[in-house]
Amino acid sequence: MINGSKPRKTLTPFEERLSMLLIVVSYLFRFDCLSEKGCYDMGKPRMIILIRHAQSEGNKNREIHQTVPDHRVKLTPDGWKQAEAAGLKLRSLLRPDDTLHFFTSPYRRTRETTEGILNALTSSNPAPSPFPRHTIKVYEEPRLREQDFGNFQPGSSEMARMWSERAEYGHFFYRIPNGESAADAYDRVSGFNDTLWRSFGEDDFASVCVLVTHGLMTRVFLMKWYHFSVEYFEDLRNVDHCEFVVMKRSRESQKYILQNELRTWSAMRREREEQKEPESPIPVRKRWVGSQDGFELEYGRRLARRQNTVEMFADDAPEIERVKETNAKGVIEKQFRGTMAIPR
C-alpha cells in the first residue's frame, strides 16, 4: 500500500484466464472489423482528395494581379464549367453512404470552385443525388491559402526577372519579395496536417475528405505527408485545374496510398529526348554566314529546301546588272569563238 491507497486485489487463476481470453477476443474482433465495410469506415476517412481550383482570371491574364488582390481573383466562365464537371466526377467516385467534409482555401477562386463542385454534386440532374447539401460540412481553412506573392504584383518585366531568379535560386527556398517561399507555405501546411490528423479521431468525421486548394499548396501538402525531398518537390510539375489527387486508405496497412502518378520535369525532358529523330547520316556541311570567324552548320534535316542558283547569287545581282549595262555600251567586249565573254 502506497500513500494510503487500497491494496490491489489479487486475481484468481480463473479471473486471469478470463482476462486473457477477453483480450484475445477484442483483438480478433478488431481484425474482423477491418474486413467489414462498416467497421472499416470508422475513424480515419477512407479517402482524401485534393483538388486544385478551376481556371481563374489570373490564369488567363497575369497582369490582373497588378490591380486586383490575389485573394479576390474570381473564376472565368470556363472555370465555372470546370468546377461543375469536377462535381460530377466526384459524384461518380463516391459510394451512396459516403459522408463528406470539405476544407477550402478562403481565396475567392477556391470558394467559387467549391461552390461549383457542390452545385453539381447535390443536383437532382440527371438523377436525384444521394448527397443532400445540408449533410455536407464545409470549412474555410486559411492555412490552405495560396503562396503569398507580396500584395499587388509588379509589372511583367519585374515578374519575369523574379521567376528567372527563382529558377536559379531554387523554387522551394526562394522567398518572393514581401511574400513567402514554398518553405514558408510548408510550415503552415505542416500545422494543418497535424490538425487534420487529430480530427480523424472524431466519431463524426466524414468517410471522404476533400481539400480545395492551389497548385503549389497541393504539392506542398503531398511533400509533407509523404516526406518528399526538396529535390523531388522542385522536380514536380503543377497539377491541372480541377485535377483530382486521390489518396486511398489501405485496408492492410491503414496508410494512405497515392493513386496518381505525379508528373515531373525530368520525365518530360526524357520523353522529349526519346521522341527526337535520330541524327541524319548526311555529313555536316558548313555555310559561311558573313561573320569574320564563324560558319553555320547545316544538316539535311534542318534545311527547308535546297537553294537554287538564282537565290545563291542574289546578292551579286546588282554587280551583274552593272557589267551587263557596261557591255551593252560596248566599253568592254571581246569576241572569242563566237561567244561573248564578260570579264571577271
Show the cell assigned to 4: 494510503
Q: Which of 216, 234, 247, 193 is nearest to 53 (CA)?
A: 216
User: Which member of 53, 65, 171, 214 is catalytic?
Assistant: 53
The reply to whether 71 belongs to the active site is no
User: Which member of 57, 84, 101, 112 is catalytic?
Assistant: 112
**Pair 73, 58: CB distance under 8 Å:** yes
Show the cell assigned to 250: 489501405
Residues 331, 337, 343, CA angle at the centre, nearest 5°?
35
- CA 224 – CA 233 distance, rounded (Å): 10
Contacts of 68 (CB under 8 A, 6+ apart): 57, 58
Reduced to 3 states, what is the DSSP secondary structure of residue 304? coil
- CA 214 – CA 106 distance, rounded (Å): 11
- CA 218 – CA 244 distance, rounded (Å): 10
- CA 344 – CA 12 distance, rounded (Å): 126
Reduced to 3 states, what is the DSSP secondary structure of residue 206? coil
Contacts of 338 (CB under 8 A, 6+ apart): none
Show the cell assigned to 311: 537565290
The reply to whether 112 belongs to the active site is yes
Known catalytic residues are 53, 112
